[in-house]
Amino acid sequence: MQHLKCFLLASIFLLCSLSVKASSDDAKAALLAKQNACLGCHALDKKIVGPSFQAVAKKYANDPSPVAFLKNKIIKGGSGSWGVVPMPANAKLSDADVSLLAAWILRGAPSAN
């Protein structure tokens, strides 16, 4: 019984730790999006110039490698995936920041607004 209690407490602690990390990553990604003008064209749940982050997450939900695809799109920019208006390149971002942004967008950009 004691082992079960320890296991449950350890599991709860791990889940809480992961939740705090996710919240921290979400806050950092939201700040990166704001600082790099992403929010000028994208919003959480509505189209502005580009698609909403939730629409992007939904479109690529079944893609076998969505993070790599989205990272490439963020870094190089481009057009055609969502219409004719081009998305500017964001080549100045570090690989870690682009990875964080891509993963955040693919989760539907929690805490974006």
> Where is the binding site, in residues?
38, 42, 87
- The whole-angstrom separation of Cα 52 and Cα 75 is 18
Give the CB-side neighbour count of residue 89, counting CA atoms within 13 A: 6
Binding residues for heme c are 38, 42, 87
Residue ranges in 36-94 assigned as alpha helix (H):
53-59, 66-76
Ramachandran area for residue 77 (φ above 0: left; ψ -120 to 50: alpha; else beta): left
